[in-house]
Amino acid sequence: MDLYLKDSVAVVTGGSKGIGLAIARTHLDEGARVVVASRTSSPGLAELAGPRLVHAPADLTDPDAPARVVARAVEEFGGLDILVNNAGGPPPGVRLPRFSFGAPTDADWLAMFEFNLFSAVRAVRAALPPMLERGGGSIVNVSSGNARQPGPMNVDYSAAKAALNNLTKSLSEEFGPQGIRVNTVSPGPVRTAWWTDDGGAADILAAHVGADRDAVLDEVAPEMMNLTTGRLVDPQEVADMVALLVSPRSASTTGADMVVDGGFLKAV
């Protein structure tokens, strides 16, 4: 299926690994020109190097960074059609999960909202003018199933993602009549570095439940989260949904929350 993304200009935040890298790769495969924002590059991003890819080094918790990234896209490719706010999860230097409301401090809450909400707010603020100049565009905010199904773990993360969902609805209402569609994609647990890095979620849960990390990744985590598919989500599965949402083939989809979660959410 042709998604009609050839020569479109996309900014993907947090695009050096995991979901973001899969999103960047998929956009390139569809013929888009892509600016990836991340603090550092990665071997996976280096493999995508070419004239249609620009890496814009950025710490997205810096209030000025999102605007610089958008400006880079306009400078390099002449405008902006797509913004994917993928950067999120544990702020730099933070390991999750945390197991109770009492675990995060005020500083932890602030850092979580800076990374998962305010960076997206600032990126959208910067992206709207060049999108409006081109007559429209598409914004996808990568949220989480935890926004709609919170629990005692990672309460600050869940709250930040719930706020991102609310923001998305508000933006879709205000800017939809001007040709800008805004949606969320809500993954469940995705097999990324967040889980698999040394000291990451798999190791933390393994210590908590008395299992080894491979068992956590393959069995314990899917069982704990009651995943219908019995496995963690693959990053490419999320990237495919994002690509469909930003495509003109989804021209009547706005204000929606598209779930890619292995059956994590059970509510109607």
Q: Catalytic: which of 77, 113, 115, 157?
A: 157
What is the Cα–Cα distance from 44 to 40, expressed in whole angstroms?
12
Measured between alpha carbons, how far is 20 from 233 in angstroms, rounded to an integer?
14
Cα atoms in the 13 Å half-sphere on the side-chain side of 124: 24
The phi-psi region of residue 132 (left if phi > 0; otherwise alpha if psi is between -120 and 50; otherwise beta) is alpha
Measured on CA atoms in the order 195, 199, 205, 210, is the torsion positive or negative? positive
> How far is Cα 115 from Cα 8, in angstroms, rounded to an integer?
27
**Alpha-carbon torsion angle 169, 178, 242, 63, nearest 10:** -70
For residue 259 the two structure tokens come to: 């779930």
Element (H, E) at 11: strand 9-13
Q: What angle do helix axes 155-175 and 106-113 make, rounded to 10 degrees?
A: 30
Active-site residue flag, 157: yes
The dihedrals phi and psi of 141, each to the nearest 5 degrees, come to -100, 120
Residue 37: C-alpha distances to residues 47, 71, 234 (Å): 16, 12, 21
Antiparallel, parallel or unpaired: β 137-142 and 82-85: parallel
Structure letter (DSSP) for residue 228: T
Angle between helices 65-77 and 119-133 (to 10 degrees): 30
Tell me the catalytic residues: 157
